[in-house]
Amino acid sequence: MGELKPASRKQKVGRNDSCPSGQPAKFKNCLVAHRELNERSTPAEVWWVCSRWQAAAPPLEKRLVAMPSRRIGAVEKLDQVLEEAIKAGEDMEWNEIFHGLRAAGHPDLPGVFRRIAAEVPPTKKSRLAFFY
C-alpha cells in the first residue's frame, strides 16, 4: 500500500472522497448539485454553499478565508460566522470581516456594524473603521 498523507496536510477534497458535509455521498455528487464548487474546493468553501451540512464546521479562520465574494442566500451562515468572530478572543481584522459580509450579501449591514462596535472590546475595535 502507498504511504498515507496526514489529514492535516490535505486541504482539498478529492472527487471520490466522502463529501465533507457529512452526507453519505461522494464529493463528485456534490459537485453536480453545487455548480460553484470544483475539484479544488476546500471543505470551508463547501461549507458556505452546502445547505445540508451535518459535520462539524471547518475552523473559523478557514471559513473567513473562503467567505464568498458574491451574494449567497445563507444569511444564517453569515450570522454564525459573525457570532463566532465576536466570541473569538483573537485580534480579528474587523474591516475585512465587515467587507466580506457586505460582499456576501448580509442584509443588515448597519446592524452588523453596531453589533461589532458594541460587543468587541475597545482594544480590538481600533481596527474597525467607521463606515458612516
Quote the pTM value.
0.76
Is residue 49 within 8 Å of 36, Cβ to Cβ? yes
> How far is CA 20 from its chain centroid?
14
- Cβ partners under 8 Å of residue 75, min gap 6: 105, 106, 107
Q: Pull the grid cell for residue 129.
A: 473603521
pLDDT tens by residue, the chain, 132 residues: 334 344 444 567 777 888 888 888 888 888 888 888 888 888 999 899 888 888 899 999 999 999 888 888 788 999 999 999 888 866 778 878 888 898 998 999 899 888 887 887 666 555 555 544
What's the pLDDT at 113?
Answer: 85
Q: Pull the grid cell for residue 126.
A: 481600533
What's the pLDDT at 50?
Answer: 85
What's the pLDDT at 2?
Answer: 39
Measured between its terminal Cα atoms, the distance across the chain in Å is 60
Q: Which of 96, 87, 88, 82 is nearest to 127 (CA)?
A: 96
Extents of the domains making up the chain: 12-56, 67-132
